[in-house]
Each structure stands twice: as structure tokens, then as C-alpha cells.
Structure 1
């Protein structure tokens, strides 16, 4: 089966489940894992600006898209000519069924099962000692965070954090003043590439708060990625548990 993936984390999952560049024939420029394999796959644009004509030239049997990451009009245009699977992953349970369904579609049921078991193992392996309110920032100018109907929120919750903005939905804009009641401020490495200088900027407002860069892929990449983040989450939670 020839597949075009419009979703970086799903591209990674397809290769993790055993597909090769002979089957995954198209990807976005943001599909970066696994590097040695994806670099041989045709780039069909970005997640928000796909090249429909290039996809048509590839003649895939299946296109995999995502409700949140891709543009509705572009996906619907592809549906006129191709079979398109539109995914929507908000919870850990949603992710379980995504991986399971991909395993069924590509006859890799055992690999899918193993990844799902590993994901639950990773999420259950370490918990924070006591509830900690965390603000997870994904953007700057304006600052943006995550609400309760996002995958990131559910990963935060599974690892023991309380989302400071759980009463919000989607990706609300916030101000520095809105961070006053949170215990920890997490600056995601993506989609905005937060750096150490951005920690310093927030420290000017909140010198006593724990402010840290976190791996955006670990918190936001659904599919198989979390199965590979065990050590990362262990180290992160250990650092937070040992904070003064």
C-alpha cells in the first residue's frame, strides 16, 4: 500500500510499525523522524500548505491527515481523488486506538500492541510526589498555552501535573500576569522554539518560580513517540520532585 502522511508524528509511527520508504511515499517537511528513512521520502509541502498536485502525481492508495494539523479545505480537495483517513487525537485513549488502527491497516498488529503497552508503561512509571500546577507555553508574542481539550493537557495530567489553564479550551492567549498562580512554567521546544533567553525574560517577572524548557515532541507527538520518552519523563519528573 502506497501512503502519503500529512502528519509528522504519524509518519514516525508508520516507520516504527515496520513500513519502509517503498510504502511511505510522501511526507511533509516537518516529518523528521526517523531521519535516515524519511530523508528518502518525497516532500509534499508543509502541514498547512500541502502541494496537492505533487500528491496527485504520487498516486497514493491512502493519505493520512489530522483534523488539527491540516487545513480542512486542502484535505477535502484530496478526498475528491483519494482515500483519506482523517485522524483526531485528544486523549491517551484516542492515541491507543490510532496506533491499534494503524497496526490493523498495515497488518502490524503485534508491533502496534507492543507500542501501546510501552506507552502506558512510560506514562505510569513515574509520578510527581504532590500535585503541581504547571503552565505549558507553546507560543510567544502573544504567549499561548494549552486548554483541557488538547493532547498535551492529557499527557501533562497523566504524568501528574495539573494544567493551570484546564478551565480553558484549545490554545488560548495569555499574559505574563496570568501565570501568577502557577507553580512551574514549561516552555515547549515547539512549535515556538523557546530558548534559555526566554526563561530569563520570565524570570524578570517571577524570579522564584521554576521555569524550564521541555521537549515539545514528548508532550505533543501522538502515535508511537511517547514509547521512546521513558528516560526523558523519568529525568524530568525526578528533577521536579527534587526541587526545593
Structure 2
């Protein structure tokens, strides 16, 4: 039996949110175009000074901006994680895949932060309202660290950006591999849609950093979403994962119920160690349902804790 792999772009896009930057330090009396930023699409954006009016299309980008001491004037229309509750009153403008151009125009942004894969088509639209579109992505922890460096350059907060990246590097070094290999399947899901995270996805990279063994590492990538693979039940059963982790952007309990229902259609799932031992678990949506941004250390903590519990 194979799980359905009907892909709904609006569901998956938040996971794909995830390069290098070059910028001159911001100085008083800077001349036109003194601040130059190279985004993940290798485009150079020029500013007279550090942008003051920023619109973010994702909470991950927004998280980094606030961690560096900045603010936004427009934010995504979604529930905010705890670390961004201070921005609850900020004007909502839609999402990465569907935003309100008129609302963004009314905010008169100096720059709009978007996703390289999803928003490249929107460059002319944003430039047409007198702003600039800065594109990034986050398919690995290194990508997030590159975002941090880039936004540090954008805000003139290079020292804060370096300090945050140093904290992430230090946390990665502190990870102690589990005492025994924990075979893990990481699933992104919504009712009727389930995909396995590959090693070159953000969640797959986080699993690797935490010391987990990804049973989907050799599965073929989906054409439209190459960070993920179709779930092949027979191969999963053969690999016999110790742990199945579910991540979703919303309604986690519904997703888990749907996933368990799918598994019941094949009795062989009942003998999979993760199912038999009750280790089908839901990951926090603010850390895994989307780019966690500056909270990526907490995502590492979460995975390390779950792996250690099963390896002790």
C-alpha cells in the first residue's frame, strides 16, 4: 500500500520556507546605495540606509528580525509563536503564497522579505509598489544561519547576528549522539497528504544534527518538492522505524488521527516498532511546521530529547 501523495501547494509551502550576504556597515550620512545586500537568489539590493519599514511574509524571517532587535510593520496572517507575541498587533498582510498587495502598499515598506522558491515571481509586483523584495530560503540550519547573517547586514546588527550564529554553532557541538541508533521517519502531513522528510530538508537536517537515523534517506525526491519523498508503506515497514515524528502547520491532532487511520488500512503497520510501542509523536508546529528562524536551537533541543528517551 502507498499513501496518497496528492500535494496541496498551500499546505506544503510553509515547509519549504528556508545564499550569502554582502553588505557594508551602515554609517550616518551614508550615500545613496551605500548599503548593498545580496539575497539567496544572487540579486543585489541597494538601500540608502538600513530599512526601517519591513514587511515579512513568514514567521521564520520575522523571528530573526526581532531576535536582532528589529521590528516589522507587516506580518503573516497566522498564529504567532510565543517569542513573537509582542508583534501581535502588527498589521497582517496574508501569507507567503497569497498576500494582499494593497495592504502591503499602504504600509510603504522599504523592503519585503519573501521566499526564494515561492516569491521569485513576485519581484516585479513588489518593485511596482516602490519597494524591494529580498528572497531567502531555509532548507537547512546553515541556511537559517545565512539568513541571520544577511538580516544582520540589512539592519546594521552584524554583531548580534554573529552572536546568535555562534550560539547555534555551540549548540550543534553540544549534541551528544544517542547511545544506540534510533531509526526515525519524519512525516509532514495534513489530512490525506503525507510526505517523508529527506536529509536535505530542514527537518531532515535537524534530525541529522540531533543524531537520528533517517529511514527515508535513499527515497526518490518528489519533483515539485524535492526536499520530500512519497511515503512507501512497504519500505517503511521493512525499515521498521523506532520513532515516527509528525509535523504539520495546523490541526496536529487531526493529522495524527488521519495518519493512524491510513496505517490501519495495512495490518503490517501494527508490527512496526514505533506503532507497537506508541512512538508516533507530534512535533511542535512553531518549530517544525515552518521555519523556526531564531528559535532553531529549540528545535534541536526537541529532537535530541526525543531521541535520547528512546536510546537510553
**Aligned residues of 1:143 and 1:175 also touching (Cα < 8 A):** no
Equivalent pairs counted in the alignment come to: 237
Structure 1 segment 70-219 matched on structure 2, within 5 A: 70-80=118-128, 81-126=130-175, 127-139=177-189, 140-167=191-218, 168-169=220-221, 170=226, 171-180=228-237, 181-183=239-241, 184-188=243-247, 190-191=248-249, 193-195=251-253, 197=257, 200-201=260-261, 202=263, 205-207=269-271, 208-209=273-274, 210-219=279-288
CA–CA separation in structure 1 for the residues paired with 2:230 and 2:281: 19
- Counterpart of 2:64 in structure 1 is 13
**Aligned residues of 2:187 and 2:197 also touching (Cα < 8 A):** yes
Q: TM-score, normalised by structure 2?
A: 0.68
Q: Does 1:49 align with 2:98?
A: yes
**Aligned residues of 1:142 and 1:174 also touching (Cα < 8 A):** no
Deviation (angstroms), 1:18: 0.7
Alignment partner of 2:186: what SS?
strand
Residue 110 (structure 2) aligned to one of 34, 48, 61: 61
Deviation (angstroms), 1:27: 0.8
RMSD: 2.5
Deviation (angstroms), 1:155: 1.0
Deviation (angstroms), 1:177: 3.2
Moved more, 142-151 or 8-17: 142-151
- Counterpart of 1:221 in structure 2 is 291
1:35-79 per-residue CA deviation (whole Å, 9 max, x = no partner) reads 4322121100122110011111111001110124x4443454213
CA–CA separation in structure 2 for the residues paired with 1:148 and 1:233: 15
- Counterpart of 1:30 in structure 2 is 78
Deviation (angstroms), 1:97: 1.6
CA–CA separation in structure 1 for the residues paired with 2:63 and 2:294: 7
Deviation (angstroms), 1:105: 1.3
Alignment partner of 2:197: what SS?
coil
CA–CA separation in structure 2 for the residues paired with 1:166 and 1:194: 24
Q: Structure 1 stretches of 5 or more lacking a match? A: none
Alignment partner of 1:224: what SS?
helix
Deviation (angstroms), 1:5: 0.4
Q: Structure 2 stretches of 5 or more lacking a match? A: 1-51
Q: Residue 54 and residue 236 in structure 1: after superposition, are their counterparts in 2 closer, same or farther (change >3 A)?
A: same
Deviation (angstroms), 1:154: 1.1
**Aligned residues of 2:185 and 2:216 also touching (Cα < 8 A):** yes
Alignment partner of 1:128: what SS?
coil
CA–CA separation in structure 2 for the residues paired with 1:4 and 1:228: 25
CA–CA separation in structure 1 for the residues paired with 2:291 and 2:193: 23
